[in-house]
Chain A
């Protein structure tokens, strides 16, 4: 029998009992639908993270924090034991993530390939205003040296007293982003002892693109950040003690970056690039996705019993027919293949209809979500359906259906033609 004839015959056999086939396909539909939805949700999140991460670039910048070895008690929900710090000032405090500025500098000296060091100073700002107009709350932060951000207008920060406005603030200042470039804004922050409101005037050099991460803060130059830090923290016990900092590696060789990361690791620090950080988020979403997909696989497991049941009954009903086909020279392999095809087709139609249903519901869901609770998450679709993922789902479900059909198909293929023809 030709492959084409086998497929046509298998399809016709399924259509002989439309209700039974439809019910079995429905069970697969539920599984395929769930799988497509859960997977689409995860992919939607991944897509979003990807577009957000793309707003920043800097492959040769390593963000670093100190590792604290988890004391044994901590994993057992017991209080961590205090470790005495040695007298030597250069020694890192074993009880804290914090690292002194001088320690950072000493650490950097061990890495000749490091071009620049950017300590991550945490500052608090109160407001921003243009031409003494309305004041808006703002977070200010300097980008690590070597990191650039995507801009909708202007250029990256390249000198002192400069600011790149986040998109939403720029928008309330003016619809004409180009017109904002070169103008001065005033920022307010509390500093000094006792703390009092102070202001600084910064020149707008750029406007950042829209995005969730890019809307968290406006970028200022490092010198201004340091100035504010000094005013806010000088004299406090944690002055000059930071939890994160970054190294900018000279050149653009990923192998050099990798080697710096490895040596940092040996010295008790964790170093990650922007790509590493996004990968971590990616993996977290991946785990979430797998967890969600498990539910779908439970549904598919139930559906595969439906397929087995359908095929066992079909083999019983068609015993005589199988007997005749075998008498007329149809081989075991072809009989097996015919029944396998029937189960695969059940899986296939279930998968295709389930995916179609999921895409339909997903489209409606996306439209609804972007209208209501995702308003501020521009560029985020709740569900993302990717052709490759959808094809994989079809393939997986066809495989599950095939496996479900193996036993009945094997039984059909092993029927003895004489006994099958006499079957009542």
Chain B
């Protein structure tokens, strides 16, 4: 489904150049579960940003179902990301003062879906992560584990093909982190949503079907 061919990313600041990624190729299949591991500075975040089309590669191509996304216009790229990808971040990025349901339906709101349909879908996905009863609560009043499950619901609300999770359990204790992991893997198994997890947690990476390890911007191990 998503294919990255010989991706390189160079950051320039003045005359200095920093090659964050060097000729990395990855392929993500329809119901894949891929862990990207590596130490900080290995380029794993950069790779995720490129795969998720949040940033453009300096060299290389990314195709989705055969289409070269690097040629998309800004407008089309925004729409593409909104429809095909879901995101989960270590720091949640929830809007604390808004209600849980408002946070969950954000991707649908951006897509331009009407209020009633947004609400129905939002509740459906909150149910999927077991938080339907907290829909009207302010997001800031939830526990860390609950917050991350709200983030999963938000990622699901857009009905994506791939969910990108950047250190999804990094801010959670092992019990709540385990619940979040369990939810993610269940979605992958039951709904066939591809999962790309960026982590330095080997235990979490081991639970994924495949893993690639990066060091200094290059793939050093793949399974």
* Chain A residues with a Cβ under 8 A of chain B: 1-2, 5, 9, 12, 16, 320-321, 323-332, 334, 417-418, 421
How far apart are the CA atoms of A418 and B93 in the complex, in Å?
13
- Interface size band for B: 20 to 34
- Return the contact of A330 from the options B55, B95, B97, B110 (Cβ within 8 A): B110
Collect the chain B residues with CB atoms within 8 Å of residue A418's CB: 49, 54-55
A419 to chain B, nearest CB (A): 10
Collect the chain B residues with CB atoms within 8 Å of residue A327's CB: 52, 54, 81, 87
- Return the contact of B110 from the options A1, A323, A417 (Cβ within 8 A): A1
Collect the chain B residues with CB atoms within 8 Å of residue A329's CB: 78-83, 107, 110-111
Collect the chain B residues with CB atoms within 8 Å of residue A325's CB: 106, 110
- Return the contact of B109 from the options A5, A326, A417 (Cβ within 8 A): A5
A384 to chain B, nearest CB (A): 43
Interface assignment of B74: CB less than 8 Å from any CB of chain A: yes
Interface assignment of B112: CB less than 8 Å from any CB of chain A: yes
Collect the chain B residues with CB atoms within 8 Å of residue A330's CB: 78, 110
Q: Are B107 and A1 in contact (CB under 8 A)?
A: no
A158 to chain B, nearest CB (A): 74
Q: Are B81 and A421 in contact (CB under 8 A)?
A: no
Interface assignment of B89: CB less than 8 Å from any CB of chain A: yes
Contact A2 to B112, CB < 8 A, known contacts A16-B97, A321-B93, A327-B81: yes
Q: A2-B112, A325-B110, A329-B111 are in contact. List 11 more A-B contacts (CB 8 A).
A: A5-B112, A320-B91, A325-B106, A327-B52, A327-B54, A327-B87, A329-B83, A331-B78, A418-B49, A418-B54, A418-B55
15 A-B pairs (CB sep. < 8 Å):
A1-B109, A1-B112, A5-B112, A12-B98, A16-B97, A324-B89, A326-B78, A327-B52, A327-B54, A328-B107, A328-B110, A329-B79, A329-B80, A329-B83, A329-B110
Collect the chain A residues with CB atoms within 8 Å of residue B109's CB: 1, 5, 9
Contact A417 to B54, CB < 8 A, known contacts A325-B106, A329-B79, A331-B78: yes
B27 to chain A, nearest CB (A): 23
Collect the chain A residues with CB atoms within 8 Å of residue B177's CB: none
Interface assignment of B12: CB less than 8 Å from any CB of chain A: no
Collect the chain B residues with CB atoms within 8 Å of residue A324's CB: 87, 89, 93, 106
- Return the contact of B87 from the options A5, A321, A328, A334 (Cβ within 8 A): A328
Contact A320 to B93, CB < 8 A, known contacts A1-B109, A330-B78: yes
Interface string of B63-85 (1 = CB under 8 A from A): 00000000000110011111100
Interface assignment of B158: CB less than 8 Å from any CB of chain A: yes
Collect the chain A residues with CB atoms within 8 Å of residue B87's CB: 324, 327-328
How far apart are the CA atoms of A334 and B158 in the complex, in Å?
19
B170 to chain A, nearest CB (A): 14
Q: Are B106 and A328 in contact (CB under 8 A)?
A: yes
Collect the chain A residues with CB atoms within 8 Å of residue B93's CB: 320-321, 323-324, 421
Collect the chain B residues with CB atoms within 8 Å of residue A5's CB: 109, 112, 115
Q: Are A421 and B89 in contact (CB under 8 A)?
A: yes
B105 to chain A, nearest CB (A): 10
Q: Are B158 and A328 in contact (CB under 8 A)?
A: yes
- Pairs of residues from A and B, 4 with the lowest C-beta to C-beta distance, nearest first: A329-B82, A329-B78, A324-B93, A329-B81
B74 to chain A, nearest CB (A): 7
Q: Are A321 and B55 in contact (CB under 8 A)?
A: no
Q: Which residue of B lies closest to A9 (CB)?
A: B109
B40 to chain A, nearest CB (A): 13
How far apart are the CA atoms of A319 and B80 in the complex, in Å?
23
Collect the chain A residues with CB atoms within 8 Å of residue B74's CB: 331-332
B65 to chain A, nearest CB (A): 18
How far apart are the CA atoms of A332 and B106 in the complex, in Å?
16
How far apart are the CA atoms of A323 and B52 in the complex, in Å?
14
Collect the chain A residues with CB atoms within 8 Å of residue B95's CB: 321
Q: Which residue of B lies closest to A417 (CB)?
A: B54
Collect the chain B residues with CB atoms within 8 Å of residue A332's CB: 74
